[in-house]
Amino acid sequence: MGTYKVIAKDDLQARPYTWTKGLDYQVVEKSDYFILASNEGSLNYYNSVKDQVFENFDVSR
């Protein structure tokens, strides 16, 4: 568990959330999920989809 930043590879959208290419966003890891910040707030994702979500971001630890 921990906190780190990811950088959006492209402009992304998962309505109503967006991420802007080149900007960094905070990730907070919990035991069975992680929280990903967006331009509008934050989303909780289960760890089972982490690889698919992070295909869209560069991890900057």
What's the fold here for domain 3-60?
SH3 type barrels. (2.30.30)
Among residues 11, 29, 36, 34, the alpha carbon closest in space to that of 21 is found at 11
Alpha carbons 10 and 33: distance in angstroms, whole number: 23
Q: Report CA 35 to chain centroid distance, whole Å.
A: 7
16 has pLDDT over 90: yes
pLDDT of residue 52: 97
Q: Report CA 50 to chain centroid distance, whole Å.
A: 9
- Specify the pTM: 0.91
pLDDT of residue 48: 97
pLDDT of residue 28: 98
DSSP code string of the chain: --EEEEEESS-EEETTEEE-TT-EEEEEE-SSEEEEE-SSSEEEEEGGGHHHHHTTEEEE-
Q: What is the pLDDT of residues 39-61, one digit of tens each?
A: 999 999 999 999 999 999 999 86
pLDDT of residue 7: 98
